[in-house]
Amino acid sequence: MNNEKETAVANNSDKPYSRTTRSSGSRRGKFNIVDFFLLLIVLAIVAAVVIYLIPGASKRLTATDETGITFTIEFRGVDSAFVTNIKNGETVYDSNKNYKLGNVKSVENYAYTELVYNEETGVSEMKEIPELKNLVVTVTANAIYTDGEGYSINGDRIAVGRQYNISFPHFSGSAYCIELSAVSD
C-alpha cells in the first residue's frame, strides 16, 4: 500500500503538467469557506472604520424626527410683472431635483433697492429701482430634524443663508432662505 502511494507521488513529480497537478492548481484559485469568513471580517471592519471616521455617518444611522416647519425665501430683483404669479396654497418645488418642498403660506413684495452714492447729500443710501421687486414667500413643509444637523427635506438641508432653485406653477427662480422656524403644535 505504502509502495503504491510512493509510486504515485513519484509519478506525479515526474510529470509536472499531469492531470493531478492541473486540478490542484485550479483548486488553489477556488473561493473556499475561509476566504468567505475573511471577506466578512474585512467588510465588518471597513464598515466600523467608515462609521467611526466619517463625521455624521453614525448620525445617519440614528432615528430622526419628522416635524412641521415654515421657512421664508426671498427672490431679489424680480421683474415687477411677475409679482402676482405666486398664489397662496400653491405647491413649491425644488426645480433642481423636481420634488415637492411644501406649500405657499404667504407672499409679499417690496421695493428692490441698491446702495448708491447720493451726490447732493454726499452720503450713500438705498435707491429704489422701480422696475424690480423683492418677492418674499413663506412656505409650510414637513421636514426631518436631526440633532446637530438641523432640518432637511428629501435629504437636502433647509437653512437660513442657503440658496435654492425654486419653482411654482407660474414662476421659477433662485432664492435665499431668510427665515426658518419649527411649527409649534
Given the rule CB under 8 A, which residues bind other proteins? 5, 8-9, 12, 20, 23-24, 27-28, 32-34, 38, 41-42, 45, 48-49, 52-53, 55-56, 113, 115-117, 119, 123-126, 148-150, 157, 159-162, 176, 178-180
Question: Nearest distance from residue 169's CB to other proteins, in Å?
Answer: 28
Question: Nearest distance from residue 185's CB to other proteins, in Å?
Answer: 19
Residue 150: all three cell numbers together: 438641523
Distance (Å) of CA 133 to CA 136, 138, 139, 174? 10, 16, 19, 14
Question: Nearest distance from residue 65's CB to other proteins, in Å?
Answer: 13
Closer Cβ to other proteins, 105 or 162, answer by number: 162
Closest CA to 132 of 110, 153, 157, 152: 110
Closer Cβ to other proteins, 77 or 85, answer by number: 77
Question: Nearest distance from residue 26's CB to other proteins, in Å?
Answer: 11
CB 133 within 8 A of CB 83: yes
Alpha-carbon span 106 to 146, nearest angstrom? 27
Q: Which helix (H) or strand (E) holds 57?
A: helix 57-61
Closer Cβ to other proteins, 9 or 99, answer by number: 9
Closer Cβ to other proteins, 21 or 84, answer by number: 21
End-to-end distance of the chain based on CA atoms, in angstroms? Answer: 88
Closer Cβ to other proteins, 24 or 84, answer by number: 24
Q: How crowded is the C-beta side of 87, counted as CA atoms within 13 Å?
A: 4
Residue 26 three-state SS: helix
Question: Nearest distance from residue 173's CB to other proteins, in Å?
Answer: 17
